[in-house]
Amino acid sequence: MVPRNHSRSFIFVALLGLAAGCGDDVAHYRVPKEAAAPPEAAAVPGGGPMAGGAGPTMPVGDVPPPPRPAGGALAWTLPTGWTDSRGGGGMRYATLRSPVAGKVDVSVTVLSGEAGGELANVNRWRNQIGLPPLDAAGLAAARKPVRAKVGAVSLYDFTSEGDRRSRVVAGFAMVAGNTWFVKMSGDEGPVGQARPDFVRIVESLRLEE
């Protein structure tokens, strides 16, 4: 018979050995958290670049014409060689294309009401080509009134500084409660070549019948 105190010592030593042996064989596992489903993109009515997203695409040639603004839409007469198309996405009502080679973009845009006012929009155009904002006095000095069939149009002409210059020529008119912009922008040279025809387009502005 093993003495009781020897028996207790043997059990104690055996338990220590078992604990030490088990410690070497313990495996640790990291269970990855279940990946959360990405939140759905917020739907923006209308989509498109102006809404901050790509928006639904539509094949070229299938873009529907813009709706007729309340109070009537503008019409114009194109010089020889120019073409136009209605729509184009965002706030653009029409795109006019000059026969002049080079970087020239001509757009017609309509917004309801005062659209932020003349000064804010002129300074937005200036900012697009890196020019500082104007104050009210500077706006009056830069404004060139043009008598169009639709009434008075304020014409502005700005050229950026630097080696490669950009130019913006734009007309601003309030017609039947809407604000209309007829804007030409691009490289200084091509815009300068297209400017006389552009002024003729502004002078021809009239309400559609």
Ranges of each domain in the chain: 73-207
pLDDT at position 112: 83
In this prediction, residues 75-90 reach a mean pLDDT of 88
Whether the predicted pLDDT of 94 surpasses 60: yes
Whether the predicted pLDDT of 71 surpasses 70: no
Instruction: For residue 80, give the 3-state DSSP assignment.
Output: coil
pLDDT at position 113: 85
Averaged pLDDT of the chain? 76
pLDDT at position 170: 98
Dihedral of CA atoms 179, 185, 188, 189 in degrees, nearest 10, equals -110
Whether the predicted pLDDT of 5 surpasses 60: no
pLDDT at position 60: 39
Residue among 209, 175, 182, 181 nearest 198 (CA):
182
Residue among 150, 165, 139, 134 nearest 207 (CA):
150
Report how far Cα 184 is from the mean position of its chain's Cα atoms.
17
Q: Does domain 73-207 have CATH number 1.10.10.10?
A: no
Q: How far apart are CA 203 and CA 206, in angstroms?
A: 9
Instruction: For residue 23, give the 3-state DSSP assignment.
Output: helix
Residue among 125, 119, 155 nearest 138 (CA):
119
pLDDT at position 191: 98
Q: For residue 161, which phi and psi values (nearest 5 degrees)?
A: -100, 170
